[in-house]
């Protein structure tokens, strides 16, 4: 039996124009201080994107994913604060989002298979001989690593840990790319998270909640017009602003705005999404001829040709 690789793709779409083909569309929300060119360069060669393209082509009915269309929302302030009123203005040209197309070559897909196979072999070896820690990454991440006290100091505080909730990879008994990358960072951390199935208790993840809400709102915007789908399950994107904004607002947890940052409030998110909709409604009507699915889970066996 081979090793199952699983991935969950934000959206798969057919694209028209010079770059015609099928693409994975990924939505990402970043802090305002993030380097967009640096992030784009990182994603272009990432194991995730190589893996998604390989996964699509490895299906029984292949999905020839050519690459990724990356949609990045950057949480920047809307403009300067008026000193007299204390109210922040909104610049007319404020548009903190970027859309880029990244192509994945056949060689990149082959490299993914080689890398994933090597990591899975190493994981099996560790199950027999123990999971080492990569001390160089302890220095790099310091106490940002959730297992730092336990791993480096032998201090395990039971009240700080809980059983990790199963995710989509657990449901199909597979391994996703995030787990492979965790093992590369530190086998010991992989053991804690995915062999012992433990998770560190934490306070509310306000940034993650905001990012999820933005993600949900954008997916609703690309949802089927009037709920109508083709016989194959695909659809023409509806570009329904009202539905998207309502979906976003419903996704924000109660009490979120009382604790979050200025660039993570409900009002900020609605303004951010509306600016995105106004900017890309016409271009994306021309570009996306058909949406094949959202939150699509793909599973394939590395050892199957």
Q: What is the pLDDT of residues 248-289, one digit of tens each?
A: 999 999 999 998 999 999 999 999 999 999 999 999 999 999
Mapping DSSP onto H, E and C, the string for 74-96 reads: EECCCCCECCCCCCECCCCCCCC
**What is the pLDDT, as a whole number, of residue 245?**
98
Query: Residue 303: pLDDT above 90?
Result: no
Distances (CA, A) of 38 to 35, 41, 207, 216, 246: 5, 5, 21, 25, 33
Percent of the chain with pLDDT over 90: 70
Query: Residue 36: pLDDT above 90?
Result: no
Cβ within 8 Å of residue 156, ≥6 positions away? 149, 150
**What is the pLDDT, as a whole number, of residue 86?**
84
**What is the pLDDT, as a whole number, of residue 142?**
52
Q: In what order do the strands lie in the sheet with 288-301?
A: 97-103, 65-75, 21-31, 4-15, 288-301
pTM of the prediction? 0.90
Across 196-222, average pLDDT? 87
The lowest-confidence range among 3-12, 131-140, 204-213, 272-281 is 131-140
Q: Any bridge partners for residue 106, and if so which?
A: none
């Amino acid at each position: 039996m081979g090793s199952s690789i699983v991935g969950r793709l934000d959206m798969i779409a057919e694209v028209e124009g010079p770059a015609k083909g099928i693409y994975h569309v990924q939505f990402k929300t970043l802090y305002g201080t993030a380097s967009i060119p640096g992030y784009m360069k990182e994603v272009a060669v990432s194991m995730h994107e190589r893996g998604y393209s390989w996964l699509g082509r490895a299906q029984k009915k292949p999905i020839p994913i050519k690459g990724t269309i990356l949609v990045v929302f950057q949480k920047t302030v809307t403009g300067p604060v008026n000193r007299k009123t204390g109210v922040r203005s909104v610049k007319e040209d404020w548009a903190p989002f970027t859309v880029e197309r990244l192509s994945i070559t056949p060689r990149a897909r082959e490299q993914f298979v080689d890398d994933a196979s090597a990591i899975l072999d190493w994981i099996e070896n560790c199950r027999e001989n123990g999971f080492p820690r990569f001390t160089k990454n302890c220095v790099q991440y310091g106490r940002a690593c959730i297992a730092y006290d336990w791993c480096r100091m032998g201090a395990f505080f039971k009240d700080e840990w809980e059983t990790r909730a199963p995710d989509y990879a657990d449901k199909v008994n597979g391994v996703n790319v995030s787990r492979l990358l965790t093992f590369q960072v530190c086998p010991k951390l992989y053991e804690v998270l995915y062999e012992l199935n433990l998770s560190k208790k934490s306070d509310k993840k306000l940034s993650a909640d905001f990012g999820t809400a933005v993600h949900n709102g954008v997916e609703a915007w690309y949802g089927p017009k009037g709920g109508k789908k083709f016989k194959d399950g695909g659809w023409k994107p509806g570009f329904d602003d009202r539905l998207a904004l309502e979906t976003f607002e419903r996704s924000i947890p109660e009490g979120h705005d009382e604790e979050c940052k200025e660039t993570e409030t409900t009002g900020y998110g609605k303004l951010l999404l509306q600016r995105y909709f106004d900017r890309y409604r016409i271009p994306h009507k021309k570009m996306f001829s058909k949406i094949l699915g959202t939150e699509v889970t793909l599973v394939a066996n590395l050892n199957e040709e």
